[in-house]
Structure 1
C-alpha cells in the first residue's frame, strides 16, 4: 500500500505521541494508532447521537476535532488541556485523564468519510467490493442518517435551471450538505440526521429511515465521471449532513415554482 499524503490534521495528531513516526507507520498500514491524551489535548467521551446533534448546531466552520464510533454510540471530543474544570459540571461527559489512550485513524477527510459510511454495516468488505466493482453500494438508513428523496424536477425548479452542473451548484449552496443524484431515476437524495424520518411530512418528498436502504455512490464520485448515481454534493466531513429545514425549504420552493408555471 503506498504511503498516505499527509495533511496538517494528521501531523498534529501524531505529535501527541512520543514517536510521531511510529504513528504514521501504523496509519500507513491502515491501522488505528494509540494516541496518549494530555500532551496536546484531552479526550471528552460522550454518546454519539448527542454529539451529532451538537456538531450540526456548531457547524463545520467552528467545529474542532471529534472522533466518532457510531456502532458503539460513542464520540470523543478533543479539547484543550486544562479544560477539566470548565466541563466538570456537565452531565453525561467523561473527561479522560492525561495518559489515557485514544485509538484513532488519521485525519484525512476522504478516509474519514469512507469509514463513517462503512460503520453503518457489519460487512464492510461487501460495501468496499461493491464500490470498487459497481461504484454504488446499499447502505441502511436510520442509524447515522436518513435520506430525503426529492424528484429532480423539484430541484431543477428551485434552482431555476435544468442544467445538471448548475443544479448541483445550487444544491451545494442551498443545502450545505451531502446530496446524491440518480440521473436515470430522476431523483435527488439529501442526507439528513437520522431522527428526521420520524417527523418528516413535506409534500412532494419522502424521507427514508429505519428499515430502508439507500444506494450510495462511492464517496467522491462526481458528475464528471459519468456515473448513473453520483454525489451532486459530496460529504465534506464525516457526519456532516444537510439541515432538514434547508431541505424542506428547497422542496417547498420547487413546488411553488412548479405551481406558478402551471
Structure 2
C-alpha cells in the first residue's frame, strides 16, 4: 500500500524511538526512506517466512477490518506482523522469529516507496496491532490451506 497517510502514522512509529523528534527529522531526510526503531516498547514484530506470511495475511484480512501493521522484506522472503509488546518472548511457534525488547527493526517511511522493505499494511497512527491469538489462528488456517493445495 502506498499513498499519503496521516502524519500520525509517522508520529506513532517514531514515538518508539529514544529521541522521537530527532528520529523523525533524520527519517524524513534519509534518501533510503528507512530507519531503525526499537521493538518491545510499543510493539513486537513476529516474522514469518514469506510463503506462510502472505497466506496468513490473506486469512487475517478476511476476518478483520484492518489488522495491525505488516512489513515485507527483501524479495518477500519474510513478513513481519506488529503485535503487542511482550508477544515475542512468549511466542513458541516453530519457524517464527520474534523481535521484542532489545531488538531493532528496519522500518520504511509510511507512504514512501523504498527498495528493500515495504508496508503491506501501513500503521494507522492509532496504534492498532494484530492480536497474537488471531494471528496464530490465521497461521494455522493458512498452513491448512497450503497443505490442502499441495495435495491437489
How many equivalent pairs are there? 142
Deviation at 1:226, TM superposition (A): 6.2
Instruction: Indicate how the Cα distance of structure 1 residues 210 and 249 shifts in structure 2: closer, same or farther if over 3 A, else same.
Output: same
Structure number with greater Rg is 1
Deviation beyond 3 Å, 4+ runs, structure 1: 156-159, 170-175, 257-260
Q: Given the two structures, how large is their TM-score scaled by the length of structure 1?
A: 0.48
Instruction: Indicate how the Cα distance of structure 1 residues 134 and 174 shifts in structure 2: closer, same or farther if over 3 A, else same.
Output: farther
Q: 1:243 corresponds to which residue?
A: 131
State the superposition RMSD in angstroms: 2.5
> Unmatched 5+ residue regions in structure 2?
none
Q: Secondary structure at the match of 1:207?
A: strand
Q: Secondary structure at the match of 1:194?
A: coil
Q: Given the two structures, how large is their TM-score scaled by the length of structure 2?
A: 0.78
Q: 1:119 corresponds to which residue?
A: 15
Task: Tell whether the 8 Å contact from 1:205 to 1:251 is kept in structure 2 after alignment.
Answer: no
Q: Secondary structure at the match of 2:141?
A: helix
Whether 2:101 is the aligned partner of 1:210: answer yes
Deviation at 1:230, TM superposition (A): 1.0
Q: Deviations over 1:235-256 (max 9, x none)?
A: 1232111111121122222322
Q: 1:90 corresponds to which residue?
A: none
> Unmatched 5+ residue regions in structure 1?
1-108, 160-166
Whether 2:83 is the aligned partner of 1:192: answer yes
The separation in 2 between residues aligned to 1:118 and 1:201, in whole angstroms, is 29
| Corresponding residue to 1:142 among 37, 40, 46 | 40
Deviation at 1:110, TM superposition (A): 2.0
